[in-house]
Structure 1
Amino acid sequence: MSQPLWQKDGVRIDEGIMRFLAGDDVLLDREFFLHDIAASKAHVEGLARIGVVSADEAAALARELDALAEDFRAGRFVLDEHYEDGHSAIEARLTERLGDTGRRVHTGRSRNDQILVATRLWLKERLEALETHCRAIAQVCLDRAAQPALPLPGYTHLQRAVVSSTAMWFAGFAEGFIDDALRARQTRAWIDANPLGTAAGYGVNLPLDREHVTAALGFARMQVSPVCAQLSRGKFELAALEALSSAMLDLRRLAWDLSLFTTAEFGFVALPAEYTTGSSIMPNKRNPDVVELLRASYAPVAGARTAIEQLLSLPSGYQRDLQFSKGALVAGMRHGLMALALVPDLLARMSWNEAAMRAAIEPSMYATDVAIEQAAAGVPFRDAYRAAAQAAASAGAGRTPEASLAARVSPGAAADLRLDELRARLGRLDG
């Protein structure tokens, strides 16, 4: 490992302690490295604007930072255990190439605001990806909801309840994922604040041009207070994971439905072959493993959120505990986004078994229709309810699923899905 930035003369570094301190930090920093480089370049521009580095020095530093980014992308520079972390790797590379000019890059900043800004830029990208995935899922659901509706049993308490439809099922998840996309966008706007220039949490005795750096990095605003910038570490990560968790909760319920609907007992849905696997011992089996793992994918995201939350029982100012937030954040965001990316194709290609769904609609499922029709005709609802309950077994006489669905005219119900309204809501996210 290269010499730590904080190394003092006469202090021996114990290798075991150093391994514990570093942990997987340098490997995790691969996620943030390009953002760290971009922030370093903007920081150099800011230093040049206040005369701390010359124009020639700034140009040389920018040139070498660009070269480092390109080398990293191409695999010519590997961020590994030779370095304590990504921040020290950047400074080591610049010093190797530029000597004392390279050592000037850290003027006016700390590793604290370096990781804050790199993580913030990374989170903005991940929240944009989250919004994109949720919008794609919602669009597929809207497209399929617009297709001719098939009767589908509606369940409460996992018991057959009323007649529903495939269009209602898709419309319900469409609206849920539209809301999830909006939440991702709102969370991204909330965390879109530049912490670079707050140093270790108390500012520095330089007139840093933080406004320029904020604009150069594409942030909507500057995080003004250095103390607040430190307090936001972990809190902003939690907000991003909470936005992801919202989508994963909807995905978990969707996957639960598909898990049930693909069983032989239901038989409502057939999955594309690529989304199933075979048994290692039972030749007759095709298992919905992808759907089951989609159902389970909320757990890693929730675990990441809990891990970070448990770190935040801290006083103000930076504490080294926060280093452990990186691993949880990266793992949770990576898994959740990977799971969501699979969903649009799955929903576009799954197929319904109309015969099985019709066979599962029994006469008693029309009892609610009967009660409401009687109430609409002037019978007190409780009287109509009791009469329909007593005659539930014969409630379906002369009735069809199509007629039941056509009569469901309340806004959002089967006869008035309001898909145009949902499309407009999704379309507003394009603006």
Structure 2
Amino acid sequence: MSDLLWQKSGIATDPRIMRFLAGDDVLLDRELFVYDIEASKAHVEGLANIGIVSADEADPLVRELDALAADFRDGQFVLDERFEDGHSAIEARLIERLGDTGRKVHTGRSRNDQVLVASRLWLKAKLEGLRATCTAIAEVCLDRAGREVLPMPGYTHLQRAVVSSTAMWFAGFAEAFIDNAWRARQTLELIDANPLGTAAGYGVNLPLDRAHTTRRLGFARLQVSPIYTQLSRGKFEMAALDALGAAVLDLRRLAWDLSLFTTAEFGFVRLPSQYTTGSSIMPNKRNPDVIELMRASYASVAAARTEIEQLLSLPSGYQRDLQASKGSVLHGFHRGLDALALLPDLLAALEWDAARMRAAIEPAMHATDVAIEASIAGVPFREAYRAAAEGAGETGQGRTPESSLAARTSPGAGSDLRLDALRTRLAELT
């Protein structure tokens, strides 16, 4: 491991303790490294603005930071166990290339605000990716809802209940993912605040140009209080995981539907072959592994959120416990976003079996229609309900799924899906 940023003369270090302290930080920091470099460039420019580094020093620092980012992307620079973390790697590289000029880069900042700003930039990018993925899912759902209206059973308590349609199914998930996209955007706005320049949580005796770093890094506002920057660590990550979790929770329910609908007992849906795998022992099997792992992805997101929440039983100010939150949020977002990213193409390609769905619609599923029609004619609804219940098997005779859907005129129901209203909401997000 390279020289430690905090090492003081005369104090020995124990390699076992150092391994425990570092954990897997240096590996996790590979995810944040380019954001850390970008924030370091903004910090150097801010130092130049207040005369702490000269233009002759700032320009080489920025050039070397750009070179480091390029080398990292190209694989010429590897962030590995030589370094305690990504922060120390940046400083070591600058000192190696620029000597004493490189030693000035950490003036006025701490690894506390350094990790906060890199994490915040990373979270902003991930939340924007979440918003874009949710809108893509909603677009596919709205497209299919508008193109095909195939009757299918609607279920409550996993029992056949009323006539529904593929259009209603798609419209339901379209609205869900529109809401999820809105939540991603709102959460991004919540965390879009610049913590750089708060140092270890109490500020420094320098007139740091925090307005410059805020503009330079594309933040919407300054996170003003140094103490709050530390209080917000974990809190903002949980908010981001909550937004991701809302989308992955809808994914889990959608995946459950498809898991049921693809069984031989239902037979409503055929998945594209690339979304299934074979059995290692049963030659006849094709398994819906992709949707099952989509269903499982919520567990990773929920676990990440819970782990961070359990870390936050802390007083104000920075505590080293917070280091453990980094792996949780990275893992949760990887699992959740990877699962969601597969959904648009799957929804666009799945095939409905219209005949199987129609065959599953029983005459008794028209009983609610019969009761409503009687109440329209003046029969008190509870009396109409009892009459329809007593003759449920016969009351549906002669009716068709199409007529049931056409009669469902309440806003959002079978004959009035309000897809245009959903498209308008979606357009506001793109």
Q: Distance in 1 between matches of 2:183 and 2:56?
A: 44
Q: Distance in 1 between matches of 2:50 and 2:278?
A: 65
The residue number in structure 1 matching 2:136 is 136
Tell me the secondary structure at the aligned position of residue 17 of structure 1.
helix
The residue number in structure 1 matching 2:96 is 96
1:121 aligns with 2:159: no
Q: Distance in 2 between matches of 1:283 and 1:97?
A: 60
The residue number in structure 1 matching 2:277 is 277
1:197 aligns with 2:197: yes
Runs of 4+ in 1 over 2 A off after TM superposition: none
1:353 Cα offset (Å): 0.4
The residue number in structure 1 matching 2:3 is 3
Q: Distance in 1 between matches of 2:362 and 2:166?
A: 17
Encode CA deviations 1:313-342: one digit per residue, 9 max, x unaligned. 000000000000011111000110000000
The residue number in structure 1 matching 2:230 is 230
1:273 Cα offset (Å): 0.3
Encode CA deviations 1:21-53: one digit per residue, 9 max, x unaligned. 001001100010000000000000000000000
Encode CA deviations 1:59-115: one digit per residue, 9 max, x unaligned. 010011011011101100000000000000000000011111000000000000000
One-letter amino acid of the structure 1 residue matched with residue 394 of structure 2: S
Encode CA deviations 1:134-166: one digit per residue, 9 max, x unaligned. 000000000000013000100000000000000
Tell me the secondary structure at the aligned position of residue 197 of structure 2.
coil
The residue number in structure 2 matching 1:370 is 370
One-letter amino acid of the structure 2 residue matched with residue 45 of structure 1: E
The residue number in structure 1 matching 2:399 is 399
What is the count of residue pairs matched by the alignment? 430
Gaps of 5+ in 1: none
Tell me the secondary structure at the aligned position of residue 78 of structure 2.
coil
**What are the equivalent positions in structure 2 for 1:314-333 lying under 5 Å apart?**
314-333=314-333
The residue number in structure 1 matching 2:181 is 181
Q: Distance in 1 between matches of 2:7 and 2:395?
A: 82
1:206 aligns with 2:203: no
The residue number in structure 1 matching 2:66 is 66
Q: Distance in 1 between matches of 2:118 and 2:343?
A: 29
One-letter amino acid of the structure 2 residue matched with residue 129 of structure 1: G
The residue number in structure 2 matching 1:411 is 411
Encode CA deviations 1:338-391: one digit per residue, 9 max, x unaligned. 000000000000000011101100010000000000001110000000000000
One-letter amino acid of the structure 2 residue matched with residue 134 of structure 1: C
Tell me the secondary structure at the aligned position of residue 429 of structure 2.
helix
Q: Distance in 1 between matches of 2:63 and 2:285?
A: 58
Q: Distance in 1 between matches of 2:88 and 2:286?
A: 50
Q: Distance in 2 between matches of 1:419 and 1:179?
A: 15
Q: Distance in 1 between matches of 2:264 and 2:423?
A: 35
Q: Distance in 1 between matches of 2:326 and 2:332?
A: 10
Tell me the secondary structure at the aligned position of residue 29 of structure 1.
helix
One-letter amino acid of the structure 1 residue matched with residue 359 of structure 2: A
Q: Distance in 2 between matches of 1:279 and 1:66?
A: 49
One-letter amino acid of the structure 1 residue matched with residue 327 of structure 2: G
The residue number in structure 2 matching 1:172 is 172
Q: Distance in 2 between matches of 1:178 and 1:399?
A: 35
1:396 Cα offset (Å): 1.0
Tell me the secondary structure at the aligned position of residue 5 of structure 1.
coil
CA RMSD of aligned residues (A): 0.5
The residue number in structure 1 matching 2:219 is 219
Q: Distance in 1 between matches of 2:256 and 2:377?
A: 39
Q: Distance in 1 between matches of 2:227 and 2:428?
A: 36
One-letter amino acid of the structure 2 residue matched with residue 395 of structure 1: T
Tell me the secondary structure at the aligned position of residue 161 of structure 2.
strand
One-letter amino acid of the structure 2 residue matched with residue 78 of structure 1: V
One-letter amino acid of the structure 2 residue matched with residue 245 of structure 1: G
Tell me the secondary structure at the aligned position of residue 152 of structure 2.
strand
1:339 aligns with 2:310: no
One-letter amino acid of the structure 2 residue matched with residue 65 of structure 1: L
The residue number in structure 2 matching 1:291 is 291
One-letter amino acid of the structure 1 residue matched with residue 122 of structure 2: W
One-letter amino acid of the structure 2 residue matched with residue 201 of structure 1: G
The residue number in structure 2 matching 1:308 is 308
One-letter amino acid of the structure 1 residue matched with residue 235 of structure 2: K
One-letter amino acid of the structure 2 residue matched with residue 101 of structure 1: T
1:270 Cα offset (Å): 0.3
Q: Distance in 2 between matches of 1:47 and 1:289?
A: 53
Encode CA deviations 1:162-196: one digit per residue, 9 max, x unaligned. 00000000000000000000000000011000000
Q: Distance in 2 between matches of 1:98 and 1:261?
A: 63
Q: Distance in 1 between matches of 2:365 and 2:15?
A: 70
Q: Distance in 1 between matches of 2:287 and 2:169?
A: 23
1:199 Cα offset (Å): 0.1
1:82 aligns with 2:82: yes
Tell me the secondary structure at the aligned position of residue 161 of structure 1.
strand
1:55 Cα offset (Å): 0.7
One-letter amino acid of the structure 1 residue matched with residue 111 of structure 2: R
Percent identical across equivalent pairs?
A: 76
One-letter amino acid of the structure 1 residue matched with residue 220 of structure 2: A
1:397 Cα offset (Å): 1.2
Q: Distance in 2 between matches of 1:114 and 1:342?
A: 33
Tell me the secondary structure at the aligned position of residue 30 of structure 1.
helix
Q: Distance in 2 between matches of 1:136 and 1:77?
A: 35
Gaps of 5+ in 2: none
The residue number in structure 2 matching 1:157 is 157
The residue number in structure 2 matching 1:383 is 383
Tell me the secondary structure at the aligned position of residue 163 of structure 1.
strand
Q: Distance in 1 between matches of 2:410 and 2:84?
A: 62
